[in-house]
């Protein structure tokens, strides 16, 4: 059963589902595609879990880049999944509506797991990380791709202006929902720093936890392995 906060998040993303892909690529100048491809390259195996799959972009990227792979994509928003189902036809992708904190899968199921631009929206991140570890096979890798506030002062100011002024305006014009595109930069600002997330993954029990920056620190990739 979804918590009140999870229902609120699901409702917000459902409201922007029809224009989500267009705005994602437009607002990131298509760099998001490169970030996803880089994150997917770190996965190994054949059966993968994609949490916060949204409209399925990461799941599709996995099946493009990993021969004979299968993906189960999980998301809170039924409307996002409806858009995704139209995109994933004729691919080895199954889409499931579920929260990251309660994954409906058996222990030791997946070779690898990924969550792209979704961990900051998870209400109980610790529980979700335990769930990732539970459903991964021994030696399976978790890949976390997430936005970050750049530390470079000059670039950081440009990023802040773009995120808090330009992004909400474009979001309102195209999707009609200014709240969702005000929420996005605020959620990035509130999200713990990269060292904190690394420590959280280690406390949950992941080993070989590492992270690295993409595009001047606008996003980061964290990886960890189930021992």
HSE of 102 in the Cβ direction (CA atoms, 13 Å)? 8
> What one-character-per-residue DSSP string does 13-30 give?
HHHTGGGHHHHHHHHTTT
Q: Is 55 annotated as a binding residue?
A: yes
Q: What secondary structure does DSSP assign to the chain, as a single string?
A: ---HHHHHHHHHHHHTGGGHHHHHHHHTTTHHHHHHHHHHTT--SSEEEEET-TTTHHHHHHHHHSTT-EEEEEES-HHHHHHHHHHSTTSSEEEEE--TTS--S-TT-EEEEEEES-GGG-SSHHHHHHHHHHHEEEEEEEEEEEE----SHHHHHHHHHIIIIIHHHHHHHHHS-HHHHHHHHHHHHHSPPHHHHHHHHHHHT-EEEEEEEETTTTEEEEEEE--
How far is residue 113's CA from residue 115's CA, in Å, rounded to a whole number?
7
Please state the residue numbers annotated as binding site.
55, 75
Q: Which residues are annotated as a binding site for S-adenosyl-L-methionine?
A: 55, 75
């Amino acid at each position: 059963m979804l918590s009140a906060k999870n229902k609120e998040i699901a409702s917000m993303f459902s409201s922007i589902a029809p224009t989500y892909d267009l705005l994602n690529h437009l607002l990131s100048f298509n760099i998001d595609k490169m970030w996803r491809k880089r994150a997917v390259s770190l996965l190994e195996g054949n059966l993968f879990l994609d949490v916060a799959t949204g409209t399925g972009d990461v799941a599709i990227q996995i099946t493009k880049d990993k021969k004979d792979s299968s993906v189960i994509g999980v998301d809170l928003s039924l409307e996002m999944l409806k858009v995704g189902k139209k995109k994933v036809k004729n691919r080895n992708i199954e889409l499931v509506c579920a929260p990251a904190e309660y994954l409906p899968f058996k222990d030791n199921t997946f070779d690898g797991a990924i969550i792209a631009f979704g961990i900051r929206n998870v209400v109980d991140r610790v529980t979700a990380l335990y769930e990732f570890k539970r459903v991964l096979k021994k030696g399976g890798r978790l890949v976390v791709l997430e936005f970050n506030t750049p530390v470079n002062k000059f670039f950081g100011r440009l990023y802040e202006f773009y995120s808090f002024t330009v992004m909400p305006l474009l979001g309102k014009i195209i999707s009609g929902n200014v709240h969702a595109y005000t929420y996005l930069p605020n959620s990035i600002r509130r999200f713990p720093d990269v060292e904190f997330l690394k420590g959280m993954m280690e406390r949950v029990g992941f080993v070989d936890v590492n992270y690295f920056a993409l595009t001047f620190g606008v996003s980061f990739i964290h990886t960890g392995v189930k021992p």
